[in-house]
Amino acid sequence: MTRLRNRLILLFVAATILPLGISLWLAHSLLERSLRYSATLELEQISQRLELTARQFYQRERQALKADSAVMQPRRFTASARSDWPEAVRQVAESGK
């Protein structure tokens, strides 16, 4: 009886530990392989290009806003000329914001 029990225990351990070991080994080897393929230098270059593009876009838009503000003249909307206000200005005034 104990011999059968020992065999069943050994079979159970082999049936659980062996696949677990193989799974861990496979996961480890796949992780190692994926880390070797990670292109950190390429990712750094892409990040730097994106930062440069964003900076150029910001500077271009800033210059465009400065140019627009130099050409535009501020308008005053007085309460006495409320009937001449554009619809958007009238809505803001009525909302109380």
So what's the pLDDT on residue 74?
83
Domain ranges in the chain are: 1-38, 39-72
Please say if the pLDDT value at position 38 is more than 70: no
Q: Is the distance from CB of 77 to CB of 89 less than 8 angstroms?
A: yes
**Tokens describing residue 13:** 């351990």
Q: What is the mean pLDDT of the chain?
A: 87
pLDDT tens-digit series, residues 41-76: 778 889 999 999 999 999 999 999 999 888 888 888
